[in-house]
Chain A
Amino acid sequence: MAKRDVRQGTLALMVLKTLDVLGPLHGYGIARRIEQISGDLLAVNQGTLYPVLLKLEQEGAIQSDWGTSDNNRRARFYRLTAAGRRRLTAETRDWAQTTALIDRFIAARAEDLS
């Protein structure tokens, strides 16, 4: 099956969750983890990823600093801020509500509505 691009608007949530679970990580690492967790169904394009990281940083949800990766490469490491953690909680709740809602619509049958 061909890899799919990440759905619009969901990448930010994935990035926040990844940083929350795994702690500070560089851009490449974030992309890898998201692809892994999706079971390699998703492809994270760097042209999409870095603007999202920048946007989150501009909004104050994450911060970044230069550091050294496991195999000694210079890389920028992103970590979650307190504001980012609050945002993750709020967005997770929103997402759960949205999916629950959509699930109910999809599961609905004619007799349920009569």
Chain B
Amino acid sequence: VKSLRRLRSRLSASILGRDEDERVREELAGHLAMLTDDFVRSGLTPEEARRRAAHTLGALDDATEAWRDQRRVRVLENIVVDVRSAFRSVRRYPLAAGVAVLSLGAGIGATAITLTARDVIFRKFPPLYREPKQLSRVQVDRPDRPILREGSPVPAGLYNIWAGTPGLEIAALASRGMRDVRIGDTTTVMPIRAVTPNVFDVVGVRPARGRGFTGSGSDSTAILSEAASRELFGTREALGQLLWIDGRSHTVVAMMPGPFWLSDMSPAIWLPMDTRTLAADETLEVVIRRAPRVSAGGLGARLGPGLADYLRRQPGGAPTLATRISGMEGTPTSRQLSIVLPYILAAAVLLTLLVACANVAVLMFAQWTARDREIAIRASIGASRRRIVQLLLAESMLIAVAGAGVGLGAALGLRALILRASDSALFYDLSLDPVIFVKIALVTLAIGIAAGLMPALFETRRLHANPLRALRGADRTRQRMRHGLVIFEIAVTVALFVVTASMIDGYRRARQADVGFDTRPLLTARVENPAGVPADEVLRVVAGLPGVASAGISTAVPFGMAGARTPVSAVSSTTDSVEVEQAVVRGPFFAALGVPIVVGRALQEAETDGSRSVVLNEALARRLFPAGNPLGATLWIASQPHRVVGVAADYASSPLRVGLEELRVYLPLGNQPRERLQLIVRATGDPAPLVLPLRREVNRAVAGTGVTSAVTFPQILRIMGQEMLVATAPLVPLISIGALLSMAGIYGVLSFAVSRRSRELAVRVAVGAGPRHLIWTVARSTLALVAAGAAVGIGATFALSRLVRAGGGAGSIYDPAWQAFVLPLAAIALIGLAVTWLPARRAASIDPLALLRVE
């Protein structure tokens, strides 16, 4: 306590300044006067007494200084002095300081923006939710299947048991379905979501207008989002309006506030549902509000008995289910995006910051080298190395702080721009998180120290021995350090270039890749029937639609639904098996998909699983029968013998997997009922106009069977491409900043080198070197720098891509193609040339007479 109290008193004295100095001076003067009085009383003349007293007490200043040392925190006073002196120094090199501040501003601004974007996409809660940290999403799935952020919904049977648990605030959303919505006599297709009536209470958001759902649901009411209202009625207000959904009328009883969204951000129409009337295996998204002080783990324990109860009621040894309880944070996009993306972003941000840091270090080196005489003089008149390093650090710190100001200003400006320009901005919580400010402050501090420390330590390392002698002989080392920093910058820029180029190339490949069939006329639809989809009937209805060329049905369709994995062997029922994807097909599946049969025949229409026929794809045929013809051979699939009747051409199951080996078997569909099958439909022209009639006809003509999603292949490709672009977009500004910073770095080093070497260059001119020779002398060093940096950057990313390949990611977007390496090289070479030009020209225009005369 004692030392704390002292520290507080000292700190306040340091900060509050010099009034207290007056006090001690007066007190000491009083001391002197009283001593003089005593001497006078003992008989001395006043003159003599004053002299004696002054002699006895010694210099007043020494005492004042001792008192001051006691009074204040020395370090703090030094900092004030250093900051002042840093201001003065920085003013002497405004251009370099400006470049450094802008470099850092760019780096820190990019960090702030990327961190905010990451938080907005992955970490923040949807706007308006009350106490969103108390909300949990619950997902369930078989233990052998990992539960991702998207999918793994809860069966209605299980939900109903949980909903019966007393005291549990639980709500559910059915999956989103596209339905016909009619207003007056215009019909549109809109996403509809059935929800339990309490869902708005559970997330804690009141309607902006209207009453909300009442009762148990299933009445003819609807709640609209503002976006849906605008889309349907052309106005924000639809309260009391009537709309027909699949032929049933609904009255709009409430409008939700504009920024509100639930599970996804599309214009939403919410209908009430009664989960007790749902089929037990209908699946639901579940939200629970935990009571205060109940953790996610505690919630799991509360859900346990209900889950056990549900499993007990399942017929015949149903597999157990694992639950996953997660928070409501993040946006719908974040649930679909790759989990590694935030890390890639963080790494890219960190690298950009490091480049900015290196840039400042380069500048500091240049400046301080030019000031080595001043530093040496400071050392000779007694400044310790620590003091000088502190002084230099104050300069880099000052630049870092100014850079942070510029960067944050830019980030705030951008935010204001987004808020003004974007409609969907209101769905996101774009408020600025104080934690980010703290992070930025820490980053700034780190940059200030990191960028200044190495040069400062270097510049002062031999001062204590003989300051003036240390001036000589350090140039070469300094140059090496500056070059090292610039090579690092170039390497990082090249690496960032490669990653971005690879992602953009992946996007391009996704758009243009030959996946093995023509995607343009295709559409795929999921058909579901709890009692088993009557495949033949569905196929008959679909084939009868005008505009349909052919249609097949399968359990595995590229871009849509992955098939089950099953062991296959050409040797015996138990040995040498490989895992392959199994597609159970019906109808002219290959013809509809447009995949040719290369050997043998396709599965015939009438064939069922009793025929034990199988078709392989080429990749599997190559793997299992490298030498011979597989036709007629026996294949053991899940330990059952099958006869190979044909080989189908290979195709990719996703645009991102083009060129990867995918093993596949096709079996005929048996009589065993299947709840879920995937249609593949080839249109005679554009497949898009087929979506609505297909859905309507199947729903109408085949009792109990519904189309739950229907989408054309071009749509799927577009969405995939957009997702990849969204993922790549944040990298583009980072990379541009990285490239700009590298340019500044190379330029800084070169122009410094030219001014440092101007004497040497002048001598060269004097002895007859032409301008071409001079330009080459300068350009050579750029070339060396760029070559070294590019080699390091390419080497690192290439090694990384080999790791990805070794990990089985060959052909994916994380495995860059050669173009992704060549383009960055070209870009960096161009950058190098551009920044060499100015210094080289300056070198070429050196006038030896003028320069040497000055010397």
Do A and B belong to a common assembly?
A: yes
Interface residues of A (CB under 8 A from B): 26-28, 31, 45-48, 50-51, 54-55, 58-60, 69, 71, 73-76
- Say yes or no: B34 contacts A28, CB within 8 Å: yes
- Say yes or no: B66 contacts A51, CB within 8 Å: yes
- Smallest distance from the beta carbon of A35 to chain B beta carbons, Å? 11
A81 to B721, CA, bound (A): 77
A59 to B66, CA, bound (A): 18
- Say yes or no: A46 contacts B37, CB within 8 Å: no
A50 to B26, CA, bound (A): 12
A27 to B10, CA, bound (A): 21
- Say yes or no: B63 contacts A73, CB within 8 Å: no
Residues of the A chain whose Cβ atoms lie less than 8 Å from the Cβ of B10 = 58
Interface residues of B in 55-74 (CB under 8 A from A): 57-58, 62-63, 66-67, 69-71
- Which of B1-9, B165-173, B801-809 lies at the binding interface? B1-9
- Say yes or no: A58 contacts B27, CB within 8 Å: no
Return 21 A-B CB contacts under 8 Å, by A number: A26-B30, A27-B31, A28-B30, A46-B63, A47-B58, A47-B66, A50-B24, A50-B27, A50-B66, A51-B66, A51-B69, A51-B70, A54-B71, A55-B70, A59-B5, A59-B6, A73-B30, A73-B37, A74-B30, A75-B34, A76-B27
The answer, yes or no, to whether B28 is at the interface (CB within 8 Å) is: yes
Interface residues of B (CB under 8 A from A): 2, 5-6, 9-10, 23-24, 26-28, 30-31, 33-35, 37, 57-58, 62-63, 66-67, 69-71
- Say yes or no: B57 contacts A46, CB within 8 Å: yes
Residues of the A chain whose Cβ atoms lie less than 8 Å from the Cβ of B23 = 76
- Say yes or no: A27 contacts B27, CB within 8 Å: yes
A71 to B34, CA, bound (A): 8
Residues of the B chain whose Cβ atoms lie less than 8 Å from the Cβ of A50 = 24, 27-28, 63, 66-67, 70
Residues of the A chain whose Cβ atoms lie less than 8 Å from the Cβ of B58 = 45-47
Pairs A-B, 5 closest by C-beta atoms: A51-B70, A28-B34, A58-B9, A47-B63, A58-B6
- Say yes or no: B34 contacts A73, CB within 8 Å: yes
Residue among B23, B26, B31, B66 having the largest count of chain A Cβ atoms under 10 Å: B31
- Say yes or no: B30 contacts A71, CB within 8 Å: no
**Complex: chain A residue closest to B63, CB-CB:** A47
Residue among B27, B35, B58, B66 having the largest count of chain A Cβ atoms under 10 Å: B27
- Say yes or no: B63 contacts A28, CB within 8 Å: no
Residue among B6, B34, B66 having the largest count of chain A Cβ atoms under 10 Å: B34
Residue among A27, A48, A50 having the largest count of chain B Cβ atoms under 10 Å: A50
Residues of the B chain whose Cβ atoms lie less than 8 Å from the Cβ of A60 = 2, 5
Residues of the B chain whose Cβ atoms lie less than 8 Å from the Cβ of A69 = 30, 34
- Smallest distance from the beta carbon of B35 to chain A beta carbons, Å? 7
- Smallest distance from the beta carbon of B538 to chain A beta carbons, Å? 89
Residues of the B chain whose Cβ atoms lie less than 8 Å from the Cβ of A47 = 58, 62-63, 66
Residue among A46, A59, A75 having the largest count of chain B Cβ atoms under 10 Å: A46
- Other A-B pairs beyond A27-B27, A47-B63, A48-B66, 16, CB < 8 Å: A26-B34, A28-B35, A31-B31, A46-B31, A47-B58, A47-B62, A50-B67, A51-B66, A54-B70, A58-B6, A58-B9, A59-B6, A60-B5, A71-B34, A73-B34, A76-B23
**Complex: chain A residue closest to B24, CB-CB:** A50
- Smallest distance from the beta carbon of B10 to chain A beta carbons, Å? 7
- Smallest distance from the beta carbon of A16 to chain B beta carbons, Å? 14
A74 to B69, CA, bound (A): 24
A27 to B23, CA, bound (A): 13
**Complex: chain B residue closest to A83, CB-CB:** B2
A80 to B35, CA, bound (A): 24
Residue among A26, A31, A47, A59 having the largest count of chain B Cβ atoms under 10 Å: A47
A27 to B287, CA, bound (A): 74
A45 to B31, CA, bound (A): 11
Residues of the A chain whose Cβ atoms lie less than 8 Å from the Cβ of B24 = 50
A45 to B56, CA, bound (A): 9
- Say yes or no: A75 contacts B30, CB within 8 Å: yes
Known contacts being A28-B35, A51-B69, is A59 close to B30, with CB within 8 Å?
A: no
- Smallest distance from the beta carbon of A33 to chain B beta carbons, Å? 13
Known contacts being A28-B31, A28-B34, A58-B9, is A51 close to B67, with CB within 8 Å?
A: yes
- Smallest distance from the beta carbon of B495 to chain A beta carbons, Å? 55
Residues of the B chain whose Cβ atoms lie less than 8 Å from the Cβ of A74 = 26, 30
- Smallest distance from the beta carbon of A108 to chain B beta carbons, Å? 35
- Say yes or no: B27 contacts A75, CB within 8 Å: yes
Residues of the A chain whose Cβ atoms lie less than 8 Å from the Cβ of B9 = 58
Residues of the A chain whose Cβ atoms lie less than 8 Å from the Cβ of B30 = 26-28, 69, 73-76
A112 to B640, CA, bound (A): 102
A51 to B26, CA, bound (A): 15
